[in-house]
């Protein structure tokens, strides 16, 4: 199995490690966000936004309480989402991942990942949505009963260069399920757009693409098709991994710099004394741009020099990133109960990377 020994250098701005008794997203008070010379605030008063998508000049952003914000030419429209199950209000839960269908302009369809509760248990599911007259409707369940606990829901959805749908799932605060190939928790899943299992998945009749993940919340690909994922560590030891089909990324047997036979050591780790709580990831020009919640920053991971730099630490908790040309877009999560911010939070912010 492939292993890597590259370890990043400590970053001075990062906060001390998180408690093992609570969520790895918990953070200290952050300063009020302020625009800088190369940034522009595109939207304010968002309600715990989680994912960014863009279609031509229109942004779509999920909000955890169960709405989708449409932003066109500065005009913000909060769209209702009619789901078959009520969105859960558990910690870190709600309407999370979201990705527009490749043929969205013709079909008005998208895919979403959300947490719900029934009379007995709490689960996550992946669904297909349809937009009609300004309202989204759940029209098909693709995968149901993904494990969900008090926290660690995973939740990121992305379409890969192979035209497959990928989803990250958390260990639902039950670490052992990350090693259980019969469980969908603690995994990266791969599925067809109709919810069926791709024939070339690494495990027969299984959605599982990779396993041994604690709580991955970001995935992206390079132009060469290499896949990378961010992952929350336990008591620091946050990770950026190079993802390969069928590989075991170690949780809970190993984390951080640790290694074990047939388990993959992360490409980058924050180490034992620092915490990022990394979320959304996007890629351009040999760099990964990683949203950091507890780190309160956007990090640039240089895949050539193996260095990590702070792109910005002026806006507090960052949940997701999106790249288009020379422009980096990111959303804050200062009012999700884990940080603090101004009355205008949360925000969508644009940063020009060429300046």
* Catalytic (active-site) positions: 152
**Residue 46: which of 288, 313, 316, 328 has the closest Cα?**
316
What is the phi/psi pair of residue 111, to 5°?
Answer: -125, 145
- Label residue 29 exposed, middle or buried (CB < 10 Å: 0-12, 13-18, 19+): exposed
Bond before 252 cis per omega within 30 degrees? yes
Query: 314: which DSSP letter?
Result: S
Sign of CA dihedral 53, 127, 44, 238: negative
Contact, 220 vs 247, CB < 8 A?
no
Tell me the DSSP string of 163-190. Answer: S-EEEE-B-TT-GGGGG-TT--TTEEEE
Query: 215: which DSSP letter?
Result: B
CB atoms closer than 10 angstroms to residue 188: 28
Any bridge partners for residue 13, and if so which?
none
Contact, 34 vs 334, CB < 8 A?
no
> Residue 60 has which token pair?
């779509």
In our burial notation (b when 16+ CB lie closer than 10 A, e otherwise), range 287-324 reads bbbbbbbbbbbbbbbebeeeebebbbbbbbbbbbbbbe
């Amino acid at each position: 199995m492939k292993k890597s020994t590259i370890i990043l250098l400590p970053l001075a701005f990062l906060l001390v490690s998180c408690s093992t008794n609570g969520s790895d997203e918990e953070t200290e008070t952050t300063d009020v966000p302020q625009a800088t010379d190369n940034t522009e605030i595109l939207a304010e008063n968002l309600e715990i936004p989680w994912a960014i998508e863009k279609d031509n000049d229109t942004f779509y952003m999920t909000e955890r309480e169960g709405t989708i914000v449409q932003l066109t030419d500065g005009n913000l429209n909060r769209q209702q989402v009619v789901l078959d199950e009520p969105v859960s209000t558990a910690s870190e839960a709600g309407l999370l991942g979201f990705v527009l269908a490749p043929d969205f302009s013709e079909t008005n369809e998208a895919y979403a990942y959300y947490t719900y509760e029934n009379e007995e248990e709490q689960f996550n599911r992946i669904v297909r949505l349809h937009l009609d007259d300004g309202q989204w409707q759940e029209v098909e369940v693709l995968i149901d009963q993904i494990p969900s606990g008090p926290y660690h829901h995973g939740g990121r959805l992305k379409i890969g260069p192979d035209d497959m749908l990928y989803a990250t799932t958390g260990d639902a605060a039950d670490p052992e399920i990350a090693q259980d190939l019969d469980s969908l928790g603690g995994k990266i899943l791969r599925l067809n757009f109709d919810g069926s299992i791709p024939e070339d998945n690494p495990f027969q009749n299984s959605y599982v693409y990779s396993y041994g993940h604690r709580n991955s919340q970001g995935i992206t690909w390079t132009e060469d098709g290499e896949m990378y994922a961010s992952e929350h560590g336990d008591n620091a030891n946050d990770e950026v991994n190079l993802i390969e089909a069928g590989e075991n990324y170690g949780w809970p047997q190993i984390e951080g710099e640790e290694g074990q036979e047939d388990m993959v050591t992360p490409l980058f780790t924050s180490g034992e004394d620092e915490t990022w709580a990394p979320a959304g990831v996007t890629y351009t020009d040999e760099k990964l741009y990683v949203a950091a919640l507890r780190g309160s920053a956007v990090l640039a991971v240089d895949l050539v020099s193996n260095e990590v730099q702070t792109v910005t630490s002026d806006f507090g908790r960052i949940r997701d990133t999106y790249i288009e040309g020379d422009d980096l877009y990111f959303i804050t999560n200062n009012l999700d109960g884990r940080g603090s911010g101004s009355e205008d939070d949360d925000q969508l912010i644009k940063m020009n990377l060429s300046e």
